[in-house]
Amino acid sequence: MSAREKIAYLRGLIDGQKVADTPEKEKFFAALVDALDSLAEAMEEHEEVHNELNDYLEQLDEDVSELEDDLDALIEEEYDDDEDYEDFDEEEYASVTCPECGKDFYYEPAAYDEDEDLLCPHCGKPFKYPED
């Protein structure tokens, strides 16, 4: 039974049982039923808003899932086509710490001459690369 149906039943009981035998009681019961009607109306409005928000969130969830799938497909496609990514071999690269900023980065020792400075990608300062 819904809230509205229960309130209508209560109204019928009050009217049928003649519990409001004085004008004061009649006024009290009428105000009580009106207050219950107002609460039921507010609950229905909140339920409607809740359902609309729930529908919106479900649609938003579907859209985000679709975007995630599209992004995953793009990333997979990018890595499948990216020969440089597949050719990356950690043994060809060395890790070094910048003496200026203290941050680590990788560089390819074979790409540098012995007297050539490394350039830190974080702070931009040049420095001599370490001897092995």
Alpha-carbon gap, residue 96 to 89, rounded angstroms: 16
Average pLDDT of every residue of the chain:
86
Question: Which structure tokens are listed for 88?
Answer: 């990356």
Computed on alpha carbons and rounded to an integer, the radius of gyration of the chain in Å comes to 37
Q: pLDDT tens for residues 84-132?
A: 555 555 568 888 899 889 999 888 888 888 788 888 999 999 888 766 5
Return the pLDDT at 16.
Answer: 85
For 27-84, the DSSP string reads HHHHHHHHHHHHHHHHHHHHHHHHHHHHHHHHHHHHHHHHHHHHHHHHHHHHHHH-HH
Residue written as token pair 């729930």: 54
Q: Residue 106: its pLDDT value, please?
A: 86
In this structure, what DSSP letter does residue 129 have? P
What is the domain partition of the chain in residue ranges? 3-85, 89-128
Q: How confident is the model at residue 58 (pLDDT cuts 50, 70, 90)?
A: very high
